[in-house]
């Protein structure tokens, strides 16, 4: 997002790290927003992680996300920020959701258990934006991205999402000459993946348009099995070993695919294929191995 904004000539960017501004701290967050009065706030900060981290730390996922969102959204209101974009997540859709998932299916049935805390917190953020727009006439917009990946992701072996975790594991398996690599789940679940630069373009598209009706799904509109995904990463990483799928491990719902027709009708479409996105991400990881978040 930062790269894209700078390329387009936006230079007056406020980019505090979590060390400089911990958004779970209400007073500091409100003071920051009131003193700087930004024109637009893109709320991407969140406690984020893969299935294992979500299952191990549900209290952290709930508490931190609720605090970050509520402090930033209310702080924007107090500071008179006219426009905010909040990132929800496809995890907010019900576990038993019809596929592909349309925006109207939100809040119609219970969440997926493995990421319930994160989903509930994110869903509260979507509703909070809606309530503020209703009561205060603000323009607080929400996008619902599908699974994201790309350069500078979190490549932690235990806490990361599937693509960065697999890229890291596959790379280690290759340099250590391991004969096989074990992967959680049957490999048959279907998932959709969006390259991070496509999301940045979608965010800019929405913020620079007249769109007021959100939430809107952001994805590619196509999915792959985890087995196909792992094979793509194996080809890109040139790992010659075998892939072994461990069906005894949790793997979440059988399919998660967003219906992207609403955003498509507003003239936005993803540009990166999975192959192209994985190549860019893998090469970034290898070239930045020492400094990557892992």
Ligand X SMILES: NC(=O)c1ccc[n+]([C@@H]2O[C@H](COP(=O)([O-])OP(=O)(O)OC[C@H]3O[C@@H](n4cnc5c(N)ncnc54)[C@H](OP(=O)(O)O)[C@@H]3O)[C@@H](O)[C@H]2O)c1
Which range, of 6-14, 44-52, 206-214, 256-264, touches ligand X by CB under 6 A? Answer: 44-52
Instruction: Confirm if 203 and 1 have CB atoms less than 8 A apart.
Output: yes
Residue 42 binds ligand X (CB under 6 A): no
The residue within the footprint of ligand X, chosen from 5, 40, 44, 211 (CB under 6 A), is 44
Which range, of 143-151, 175-183, 232-240, 246-254, touches ligand X by CB under 6 A? Answer: 143-151
Contacts by residues 103-108 (CB-CB < 8 Å, ≥ 24 positions apart): 103/144, 103/215, 103/216, 103/217, 103/259, 103/262, 106/215
Shortest gap between Cβ of 56 and ligand X (angstroms)?
16
Residue 288 binds ligand X (CB under 6 A): no
Taking the C-alpha atoms of residue 53 and residue 162, their distance in angstroms, rounded to an integer, is: 12
CA distances from 18 to 57, 67, 83 (A): 19, 13, 22
Q: Indicate the burial class of 140 (C-beta count within 10 angstroms; 0-12, 13-18, 19 or more).
A: buried
**Residues with Cβ < 8 Å from 289, sequence gap 6 or more?**
171
Residue 26 binds ligand X (CB under 6 A): no
CB-wise, 145 or 151, nearer to ligand X?
145
The residue within the footprint of ligand X, chosen from 58, 75, 145, 215 (CB under 6 A), is 145
CB-wise, 22 or 31, nearer to ligand X?
22
The residue within the footprint of ligand X, chosen from 33, 41, 42, 48 (CB under 6 A), is 48
Residue 257 binds ligand X (CB under 6 A): no
> Where do the H-state alpha helices sit in the chain?
2-7, 26-36, 51-56, 58-79, 116-136, 162-175, 196-207, 226-237, 261-265, 274-287
Active-site residue numbers? 118
The residue within the footprint of ligand X, chosen from 54, 71, 89, 114 (CB under 6 A), is 89
Q: How many residues bind ligand X (CB under 6 A)?
A: 18
User: Where does this chain bind ligand X (CB under 6 A)?
Assistant: 17-18, 22-24, 44-48, 68, 87, 89, 145, 147-148, 154, 161
């Amino acid at each position: 997002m930062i790269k894209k904004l700078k390329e387009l000539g936006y230079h007056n960017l406020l980019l505090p790290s979590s060390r400089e501004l911990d958004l779970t701290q209400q007073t500091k967050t409100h003071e920051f927003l009131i003193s700087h009065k930004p024109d637009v706030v893109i709320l991407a900060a969140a406690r984020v992680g893969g299935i294992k981290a979500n299952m191990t730390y549900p209290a952290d996922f709930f508490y931190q996300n609720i605090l970050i969102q509520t402090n930033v959204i209310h702080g924007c209101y107090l500071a008179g920020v006219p426009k905010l974009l909040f990132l929800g997540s496809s995890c907010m859709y019900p576990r038993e959701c019809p596929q592909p998932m349309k925006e109207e299916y939100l809040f119609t049935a219970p969440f997926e258990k493995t990421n319930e805390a994160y989903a509930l917190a994110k869903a509260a953020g979507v509703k909070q934006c809606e309530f503020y727009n209703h009561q205060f006439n603000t323009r607080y917009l929400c996008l619902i991205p599908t699974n994201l990946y790309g350069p500078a992701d979190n490549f932690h072996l235990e806490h990361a999402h599937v693509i960065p975790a697999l890229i890291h594991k596959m790379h280690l398996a290759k340099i250590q000459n391991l004969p096989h690599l074990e992967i959680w789940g049957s490999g048959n679940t279907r998932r959709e993946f969006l390259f991070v630069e496509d999301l940045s373009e979608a965010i800019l598209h929405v913020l620079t348009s007249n769109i007021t009706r959100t939430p809107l799904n952001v994805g590619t509109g196509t999915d792959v099995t985890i087995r196909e995904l792992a094979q793509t990463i194996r080809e890109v990483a040139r790992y010659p070993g075998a892939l072994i799928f461990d069906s005894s491990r949790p793997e979440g719902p059988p399919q998660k695919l967003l219906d992207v027709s609403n955003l498509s009708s507003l003239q936005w479409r993803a540009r990166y294929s999975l192959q192209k996105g994985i190549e860019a991400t893998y090469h970034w990881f290898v070239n930045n191995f020492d400094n990557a978040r892992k």
